[in-house]
Amino acid sequence: MTKQYNVAILGATGAVGTRMIEQLQMELDHIPVKGIKLLASKRSAGKVLEFNGQPVTVEEATPDSFDGVDIVLSSAGGSVSKKLLPEAVKRGAVCVDNTSAFRMEPDVPLVVPEVNPQELANHHGIIANPNCSTIQMVMALKPIYDHFGLNQVIVSTYQAAGGAGQSAIDELLTESQDYINGEDMQKDAKILPTKGDKKHYPLAFNLLPQIDVLEDSGYSHEEWKMIHETKKILLNDMDASAIKVTATCVRVPVPISHGESVYVTVDDRDATADDIKRVVADFPGVVLQDDIKHQLYPQPLTATGKRETFVGRIRPDYENPGAFNMWIVADDLLKGAAWNTVENAETMVEQGLI
Ligand code: A2P
């Protein structure tokens, strides 16, 4: 008989959690679900959501919530993961965590299933989902690295509000309405650039070059994550120097789907833009949208709601052989979060790891 699983979604009421519910529902042929628990904070306990056409009451997440649970899909913030996931592991569950809580721990696999699925076998109960901006970037970098070698990556991000949760999307929309009504936007700036910091700025009609906290190094923590997660995923070492990576992360007034301008230098100086396009287009989960004659290129509006990573505007740096520019867009809440989490769980089920 096919194995069936008890699944818990931690953070089920959030921007990512609600999408985890949707994505899991679409994969029931691959992850047979026996029972589902929808967990959130005390505030949401008693709220009724739906799973597979059935009403499910949201419960407050406590350590005992994980009794009898086989798989946890989690996106309720780093501190909640730190507190509750070890409790879930103690009770025998395997957790795929979308927060940054465990990503840099050496014995926690950091996995994008198309890129480094072999790492899943090394788990000790927790698998980390990379940061949303890292995931979509490594989807394009992996085939380039495999075919042409990768020397350096310079990325500037154009990140949507949704990466900071549903309340950040709501804040952007309220501020936009304020602006149109001729009202003060500052009064509604309560979350961005980042919840825990002292100052908050409007994102509507603005750009914020701060995602997560600013560190003494001069980089934001988001930039730090992109650098070290990329190395851990591609080279299995968060501090590896074989690929140099640097990042500038910017929040833009877009509700959902991140854009990234990425500049790469490859080892194979003879590689052409057509070669790069070919290997990127062949990579599973990537869609090449690159036809300048017909003005075809990836955009947040067209990527939103899709699982794929879209790549376009691939062009050589004519002043530097072996160097290329490209533009990458993906739904940060799906491939960047909910879908990658469900896909990791599904890959483990397929590999017999759960
Ligand atoms: P709640 O809706 O009850 O606050 P987002 O990323 O969109 O901000 O969503 C965060 C998710 O994490 C929500 O589901 C939220 O639940 C949940 N969450 C926040 N704090 C806790 C907590 N202390 N315990 C469990 N879930 C939490």
Which residues does a 6 A CB cutoff place in the pocket of ligand 1?
Answer: 11-17, 40-41, 43-44, 61, 76-77, 80, 165-167
For CA atoms 348, 101, 26, 65, the dihedral sign is positive
Convert the pLDDT of each residue in 190-215 to its tens digit: 999 999 899 999 999 999 999 999 99
pLDDT of residue 225: 98
Average pLDDT, the chain: 98
pTM: 0.98
User: Cα of 149 to ligand 1 centre, how many Å?
Assistant: 41
Instruction: From residue 283, give the alpha-carbon distance in Å to each of 2, 115, 306.
Output: 30, 9, 16
Asked whether the beta carbons of 93 and 10 are under 8 A apart, the reply is: no
E strands in 276-320: 286-288, 309-316
302, HSE (Cβ side, Cα atoms, 13 Å): 12
Which of 10, 13, 43 to mutate for ligand 1's pocket (most ligand atoms within 8 Å of CB)? 13
For the segment 69-91, the average pLDDT, to the nearest whole number, is 98
Q: What is the pLDDT of residues 309-336, one digit of tens each?
A: 999 999 999 999 999 999 999 999 999 9
pLDDT at 91 over 80: yes
The per-residue pLDDT for 305 is: 98
What is the number of the ligand 1 atom nearest to the C-alpha of 15? 7
Q: Which domains does the chain have, with CATH numbers?
A: 5-130+337-350 (3.40.50.720), 134-332 (3.30.360.10)
The stretch 92-109 carries a mean pLDDT of 98
Q: Which residues are the active-site residues?
A: 132, 258
| 101 CA to centre of ligand 1 in angstroms | 15
CB atoms within 10 A of CB 344: 25
CA of 323 to the centre of ligand 1 (A): 42
* pLDDT for res 2: 85
